[in-house]
Amino acid sequence: MSLLVKFPVVRSASGRRVWISLGLAAFAGCATGGPITVATVPDPGPTRAAGANSASSVTPGGGWHVDTREHVDLWLHGFALLQDDASLVPYFRLGYRASLLQVRPAVGGALDANRQQLQRRIVENPNLTSAQFLALYFATWDDMRRGVDRFLDDGGDIRAARNEEEVRMYATIRTYFPVSGDRDWLRLFMSALEDERRRFYRPYWLQQQQLRASMRRQVTSMWTGTYRGAFARFMRNTTQREGSVLLSLPLGGEGRTLSVGLRDNFVAVTFPAPGDDARDALFVVAHEIVGSVATAAVRDNSSAADERSGATGKWTTLAAVRGGAMLLERVAPDLLDGYQRYYLKLARVVLGSGDPSPTFATTFPLPAPIASALQRQIGIVLDGI
């Protein structure tokens, strides 16, 4: 699922329209109550990788590196507990909510107490799900909480902003929460997440980082040693030159991508658990980085009637999955079989040991003009300068 902050109107990979102003991710400090920091790309230093003498998740002078963000996971965790998720490509990791039942307190928290009210507003306004991107604009939970509190205290009025940076921040938040009912929901959701963080999520998140440290090293080693280079040409030619690949606990095959220029890019992908295949994270990277190309292929080969019927949104989701496979076929064919099997598993398809390609094509079908345009555009990007 992609969000490209480049034009007044952009689309998520699910096909929903998202209206957004230019330059919204540039805010970095407000007038009162301490600085609010935009999400940046820190240098985590060298990481020793399994099976290698040493590996760094940072390219000298820039590039893409592997990282994690607690507040991004907390924000997505809240949505995962509220949303019903029966999509062909689920919004979140398969069984995520059920997997928490044994470790998360069942009752007593604000998120549980206000669940029905929060869910009711999402049903009334499904566009609230697009707000899953909001956490990617901030560096920490404290920064996000302070920024949202100021926005809400000023009634969501951009004219109340105290400086240019705050104007941009208010405009960003208002994009997702344009009316008072949405902002009431945001206030309640933020309060519930603060309680959730204190009661459960922070110690749980830290524990999971320890449990998955070896998996993170494997992902980082594969990324820095092989696949960052394999993807580099495509990413460079689609203006995704630098950024962070965020390993996220709640996510599955539908990642979250925020692109705001050559350098400020975030691709949040699944964080494989112990016993999973470390390549799962790379599969989702492939799916995510073709998002803009997939959206363009669908847009250029669909009609207003397709938009009204919902076909355009469906095809956009399918095009991202198929586009990831097309990209891997060109740049990392050794990942193609695993990629197809991973997305078929997410689609609840039982597969044998044979070639998954025919089942993959029928499970994620695209009209021939869109499939051809997608294949052609990926080729154009890869063959460009």
Residues 251, 220: Cα–Cα separation, whole Å: 18
What global pTM score does this model have? 0.85
Geometric angle at alpha carbon 35, from 29 and 37, rounded to 5°: 65
Give the other-Cβ count within 10 Å of 213's Cβ. Answer: 12
- Taken in order 310, 316, 321, 322, the sign of the CA dihedral is positive
Render pLDDT for 333-367 as a digit per residue (tens, 0 to 9): 999 999 999 999 999 999 888 899 999 999 999 99
Distance of CA 121 to the CA centre of its chain: 22
Q: What is the pLDDT of residue 263?
A: 65
DSSP code of residue 94: T
Render pLDDT for 283-302 as a digit per residue (tens, 0 to 9): 999 999 999 999 999 999 99
Closest listed residue to residue 176, CA positions, set 142, 135, 141, 138: 135
Largest CA distance in the chain: 62
Render pLDDT for 176-227 as a digit per residue (tens, 0 to 9): 999 999 999 999 999 999 999 999 999 999 999 999 999 999 999 999 999 9
Render pLDDT for 113-139 as a digit per residue (tens, 0 to 9): 999 999 999 999 999 999 999 999 999
What residue ranges in the chain does DSSP mark as E strands? Answer: 2-4, 9-11, 17-19, 46-47, 55-56, 64-67, 243-248, 256-259, 265-270
Q: Which residue has the higher pLDDT, 40 or 298?
A: 298
- Residue 234 buriedness (CB in 10 A; 0-12 / 13-18 / 19+): buried
Q: What is the pLDDT of residue 104?
A: 87
Render pLDDT for 50-98 as a digit per residue (tens, 0 to 9): 222 333 343 433 589 999 999 999 999 999 999 887 789 999 999 999 8
In contact, 156 and 177? CB cutoff 8 Å: yes
Q: What is the pLDDT of residue 51?
A: 28
In contact, 281 and 299? CB cutoff 8 Å: no
Q: What is the pLDDT of residue 32?
A: 33
Q: Which residue has the higher pLDDT, 268 or 10?
A: 268
- Which of 5-19, 24-38, 209-223 shows the highest mean pLDDT? 209-223
Give the other-Cβ count within 10 Å of 376's Cβ. Answer: 12
Q: What's the average model confidence in pLDDT over 222-236? A: 95
Q: Which residue has the higher pLDDT, 28 or 354?
A: 354
Confidence check: pLDDT of 42 > 50 = no
> Residue 243, by phi and psi: left (phi above 0), alpha (psi -120 to 50) or beta?
left
Confidence check: pLDDT of 233 > 50 = yes
